[in-house]
Amino acid sequence: MTVVGPFGLSVRDQVLDTDIRVGLAEVEEGLLEATKSDVPFITNAAQHLVRAGGKRFRPLVVLLAAHFGDPYAPGVVPSAVVVELTHLATLYHDDVMDEADVRRGVPTANARWDNSVAVLTGDFVFARASHILADLGPEAVRIQAEAFERLVTGQILETAGPQDGRDAIDHYLEVLAGKTGSLMAVSGRFGAMMSGADDAVVDTLTQYGERIGIAFQLVDDVLDIASDGHESGKTPGTDLREGIATLPVLHLRSGAFDSPEDRRLIALLEGDLTDDARHAQALALLRAHPALEMARRDAIRYADLARAALSPLPECAAKNALEALCDAVVHRAG
């Protein structure tokens, strides 16, 4: 049997196949229900990104983690809906901050309407996630609040940049641990916790979630440069155009590369990349540069760390699927 989930993940177990398919369908229904409003315009805006699709990576981790306890426990699917709603809400805000035009292959909310609508829609989605979360108990509320604090802190650290003397790559990895790793960690934690798994299992799957979340974002960094936009659903080189220094650029600037060609590329990247010709030139040069391969290797390293985190867990179909997810994540980067 095969589950074709995020990245073409395959799970060869009939029971798990059925459970994940049913669970993801229930999550999808929950997302649509949670984003309904008595005001049609709000429903349209709040469901804009839900209906655009997405990998549902976080809900998948919740559902797989739940198989180390009772996967049919009543809190499992609602907690998966909560983490995805939280993620979707941050996307509305991120697109405003990044002035992005495309998300998941469709116009962003800020491009379709305006920044105010996008920000307020993100707030609305956050509110609906909180409403569901309240029914999951005070411990779940505390966990989500701590993760959201880390997420926002990561965003602020990214905006502020590294302090004097701080290694830029170390700072960037700390940013990713907050921005992406925190909510993925909650996905593993909620799935295990809501299913009634032992505390040690909960801790293991929390650690796994954070590590695979960082790997996932590092792969996105590679795809922003290397892909044609189909995989990411975003315009290639968006981060470059916005002046966001992702891992390939940070490796280029690290001092490991100091040829005249490297220095010219660095100067090009530090110039105005809103010009289409300069942007295309920078993108082509980075695609051929060893710094891109260094970033790809870092993504693989974090995926390997996620896989290693699973070693204390008993052998079962869910563990095999979580290990396969590590491979599937890095496979996107080629």
Domain assignment present for 1: no
pLDDT band at 4 (very low <50, low <70, confident <90, very high): very low
The reported pTM is: 0.90
Q: How many domains does the chain have?
A: 1
Q: Which two tokens stand for residue 72?
A: 């049919």
Domain that holds residue 229: 6-331
Establish if 214 belongs to a structural domain: yes
Could you tell me the CATH number of the domain that includes residue 106?
A: 1.10.600.10
**Which residues are CB-contacts of 331 (< 8 A; sequence separation ≥ 6)?**
7
Residue 208 within any structural domain of the chain: yes
Residue 51: which of 38, 68, 65, 36 has the closest Cα?
36
Q: What is the pLDDT of residue 17?
A: 86
Task: Please indicate, yes or no, if residue 315 is contained in any of the structural domains.
Answer: yes
Pick the more confident residue, 312 or 117. Answer: 312
Q: pLDDT by residue (tens digit) across 156-209?
A: 998 888 888 889 999 999 999 999 999 999 999 999 999 999 999 999 999 999
